[in-house]
Amino acid sequence: MSQIAFSSVPTWARPGDPSQVTSPMPTGSSYVLVGVGDVAETLARWESDLPPRATRRIHSDTDSAATLLAGVLADAVVGVRVWITAEVGSALALRAVALGAGLEDDEIAVAPVNTGQGVVVEVFCAHCRAVTRTTAAVDDVVPCAGCRRDLLVYHHVSRRTGQYLGFMVDAETAQPLCPGTESVEETVS
C-alpha cells in the first residue's frame, strides 16, 4: 500500500484508521441519519444530540437504505446534512448516493464501524465490468464474479459508485505464447 497517501479511498475507509464513532458537527438545517447494521445506538445518540430541527432516520440494509436515501435527497433543500454509520463498504455506497444527489463532501459525515482488514466491499472489474461483493481490503486478490480473473483490489474508490477498482493481478506480466505458435520475430522476418 505504498501509494495509499495518493488514494481516492477516503481516510475514514482506510485500514488502521483510528476513527471513533462520534457525533458530527450539527451545521445544517435538516439531517438524514443513515445506518446499516448494528448501529441503532449510534443513530439514537446522534438524534438526541441534534438541535430541534427536521431529522429523518434511515436504518436498513445497504440496498434499501440507498434507495430510501436517494428518495429523501430528491426532495431535499439547501442545508440538508447526511450522517452515515455503517461498515466501510456500505458507507462508501451510501456516500456515493449522497454525492450523486449533489451533496458536497462537507455536507456528508461518515462514521464507519468495523474498519479493520476484511470488510465487505464492492470491487468493479476493469475487464468485464462485473461487480463483486466480497470481504477484502486494499491489495487483496479476489476472484471476479463475472470473468473469474484474479483481481487486485486497488487503492481507488469511485465517488460515483463507492466501488473499489479491481484489475487482473498479473496484467502487467507477459504471458507465454501457446505451445506450437510462432514468436513475433519469426512472423515479422
Say whether both 66 and 140 belong to one domain. no
Q: Which domain holds residue 152?
A: 119-168
Residue at 142: amino acid letter:
V
- pLDDT, tens digit (0-9, with 9 covering 90-100), for 126-178: 999 999 999 988 889 999 999 999 999 998 999 999 999 999 998 777 666 55
Say whether both 124 and 155 belong to one domain. yes
Say whether both 47 and 98 belong to one domain. yes
Say whether both 79 and 139 belong to one domain. no
Q: How many CB atoms lie within 10 A of CB 182?
A: 9
Q: Which residue stretches of the chain have pLDDT < 70?
A: 1-6, 16-22, 52-53, 115-118, 174-189
Asked if residue 8 is part of any domain, the answer here is no
Three cell numbers, residue 135: 470481504
Q: Identify whether the C-beta of residue 101 lies closer than 8 Å to the C-beta of residue 81.
A: no
Alpha carbon distances (Å) from 183 to 95, 170, 173, 174, 178: 50, 21, 17, 13, 10
Buried b (16+ CB within 10 A) or exposed e, 125-151: bbeeebbbebebbbebebebeeeebeb
Domain count, the chain: 2
* N residues, the chain: 189
pLDDT at site 187: 46
Which of 43-51's residues contact partners 24+ apart within 8 Å by CB, and which partners?
A: 43/85, 46/83, 46/85, 49/23, 50/26, 51/26
Say whether both 29 and 72 belong to one domain. yes
